[in-house]
Amino acid sequence: MGKVKRGSYAYWINKRNVMIYGVIMFVVASIVSFMLLKPMSYIYCYSIISLAFLGLSIYYNKRAKNVRNVDAK
């Protein structure tokens, strides 16, 4: 296990704070949708935000694994 910086996404993923992050994203999406006052836009915003976060988390998780493999060698 290589050391992961405290501020990085990999740290968040390793600490299993993904649920907390998901809740924050949910709240942000709901606020945006209520500002627009359209129920369909709520689903649209939330899906885009959640997909974006999922993509980022997978990307940073792969990068963290690559770094660990390099450290092991």
Domain count, the chain: 1
Query: Domain for residue 2, yes or no?
Result: no
Record the tokens describing residue 36, joined without a space.
């627009």
Query: Domain for residue 14, yes or no?
Result: yes
User: Using N-to-C axis directions, what is the helix angle for 39-72 and 18-36, rounded to 10°?
Assistant: 150
Query: Domain for residue 3, yes or no?
Result: no
- Which domain, by its residues, includes 44? 9-72
Query: Predicted confidence band at 1 (pLDDT cuts at 50, 70, 90)?
Result: very low
pLDDT recorded at residue 51: 78
> Which residues are CB-contacts of 8 (< 8 A; sequence separation ≥ 6)?
60, 64
Query: Domain for residue 4, yes or no?
Result: no
Query: Domain for residue 1, yes or no?
Result: no
Enter the pTM of the model: 0.36
Query: Domain for residue 59, yes or no?
Result: yes
